[in-house]
Amino acid sequence: MISSPKLLTICSCMVVFMTMVASTMALYSHEWTSSLTAETFKGTLTGEPVTDINCDSKAASEAGYYKIEGSSNQNYFYWFFESRSEQKDTDPVLIWLTGGPGCSSQLALLVENGPCSMKDGNLVENPYSWNSNANIMWIDQPTGVGYSYGDKSDYDSNEEEVGEDLYHFLQAFFEDHPQYQKNAFYVFGESYGGHYVPNVAHRVWQGNQNNEGLPINLKGLGIGNGLTDPEIQYGYYTQMATNNSYDIACVSDKDAKSMEAATPKCISEIQRCQSSERACKTAQTYCNIELTSPFQKSGLNVYDIRIPCEVPGLCYDFSAQESFFNDPQVMEALHVNTDVVSKWESCNMQVNQDFKLDWMVNYQNKLPDMLKDDIDVLIYAGDADFICNWYGNKAWSLALDWSGKDAFNAQEDKTFMVNNAAKGELRSANGFTFFRMYEAGHMTPMDQPEATLQMVNTFIHEKF
């Protein structure tokens, strides 16, 4: 049995780190009329300092909920960390959205890019955390994910709802944290974040264009191993299974031929989904059975073709993280509403099913008008991932119809070096960057923490 993580009360010498985070409960409420339903809602942000979890000795944090009331009941959990750097006052603000759909962003905090990770059941600081040079917030969303909760009838099921909820969440956050209002703001996410991120960023951009509420200083967005353009990406499963960088035959010759034969119909069904919602479920069912099931039969990890799938579902053993987030002391320290949330789960499969009509919708079309308005875009992918592989991500990046397409496509791929070692390759033009990370799977920051941090810092501070 994994022991409980070490908890402690922050001593007086740590008070200095609380200067940028409210020392008492944050409470900010605002009302708005939904652009989707014309209904009136009230949103309330509550956040309190996290003082009893030894996660980051160099940066303060706060956690709490953003509560939406009206004709719906939704409560979004977040855990926010200050930047570790001396420039925290001016460092960018990032949000992180894990995909699934239905998986908790807090899992990414502990196993990918957060200030702490777990070793032998205890917390240890992560030297390559993304808050090294940025203020960053991990949000459990949509409703029902992780510590977030609400009435099941109010769960989101499409990207317009996701974008609307998070836009007003951000309005409340920046109103309640005025010290960050002028800082550069970035939206990051992974996997199904390839759907979430373009929509959330576009909703923020749209709000700025329409002079809605508080202006948010949106500067860019990043998608890691994302599903963004299914119409193109599903065409590359056979190639990744048979002709990858690691010379691994992931499927038999028979299955490879079957996958190749099924691809044209799959693409056709995805194309139909773009104009007919009724076709979206058919497309998801057919394409996943024909193009991903053969790989799953191999016993390999769908998120990293180099290793076996050890645990059904997510393939990785996250039992230590699950024990941590279900520890009553941890839940109390994070100000979780335990009257409603009795158990944390890495993924909520009801939420996953709620998005079945959204899965095959293309969302790369949200990027061109933002790129034209000088909003930077980073698409990165670990090259050992099968499910959202780098072949498909690079292909849609090259196919994207935007003002800088010719310049982007004319670029040569350049080697990305970290400590005199080649860690990836990238091409970049006019604010659009595609990055292939070597020796990394679906969760790139977990497999290449130092290189991924350098990639992100270059993107948000220096530009490629």
Structure tokens at 363: 């969302």
- Distance between the two ends of the chain, CA-based, in angstroms? 46
pLDDT at 28: 65
Tell me whether strands 73-81 and 135-140 are parallel, antiparallel or unpaired: antiparallel
On whether the CB atoms of residues 97 and 187 are closer than 8 A, the answer is yes
Structure tokens at 6: 């070490």
Nearest to 107 by CA among 93, 97, 121, 119: 97
CA distance 201 to 354: 22
- Residue 1, pLDDT above cutoff 70: no
On whether the CB atoms of residues 214 and 122 are closer than 8 A, the answer is no
Nearest to 145 by CA among 87, 187, 101, 110: 101
- Reported as a single tens digit per residue, the pLDDT across 67-76 is 998 767 899 9
Residues in the chain: 464
- Reported as a single tens digit per residue, the pLDDT across 10-31 is 222 332 333 344 434 546 667 7
CATH code of 12-231+320-349+359-462, in short, is 3.40.50.1820
CA distance 87 to 91: 6
CATH architecture of 233-318: Orthogonal Bundle (1.10)
Mean per-residue pLDDT over the chain, rounded? 92
User: Model confidence at 32, in pLDDT bands (50, 70, 90)?
Assistant: confident
- Reported as a single tens digit per residue, the pLDDT across 346-393 is 999 999 999 999 999 999 999 999 999 999 999 999 999 999 999 999
More confident of the two residues 455 and 27: 455
Mean pLDDT check: name the lowest of 36-45, 315-324, 443-452, 454-463. 36-45
CA distance 330 to 259: 46
CA distance 224 to 381: 6
pLDDT at 33: 79
- Residue 311, pLDDT above cutoff 60: yes
More confident of the two residues 152 and 33: 152
**190, 59, 56, 316: CA torsion to nearest 10:** 0
On whether the CB atoms of residues 66 and 78 are closer than 8 A, the answer is yes
Query: Which amino acid appears at position 450 of this protein?
Result: E
Catalytic residues: 191, 385, 442
- Reported as a single tens digit per residue, the pLDDT across 176-225 is 999 999 999 999 999 999 999 999 999 999 999 999 999 999 999 999 99
323-329 LR contacts (CB < 8 Å, sep 24+): 323/2, 323/4, 323/121, 324/5, 324/110, 324/118, 324/123, 325/104, 325/106, 325/146, 325/147, 327/4, 327/5, 329/4, 329/7, 329/52
Q: What percent of the chain has pLDDT over 90?
A: 87
CA distances from 264 to 27, 151, 267, 274 (A): 53, 40, 5, 16
pLDDT at 2: 26
- Reported as a single tens digit per residue, the pLDDT across 256-274 is 999 999 999 999 999 999 9
Q: What percent of the chain has pLDDT over 70?
A: 94
pLDDT at 39: 78
Q: What is the pTM of this model?
A: 0.93
pLDDT at 11: 28
More confident of the two residues 9 and 184: 184
Domain extents in the chain: 12-231+320-349+359-462, 233-318
- Residue 53, pLDDT above cutoff 80: yes
On whether the CB atoms of residues 451 and 416 are closer than 8 A, the answer is yes
CA distance 300 to 354: 27
User: What 3-state class would DSSP assign to 435?
Assistant: strand
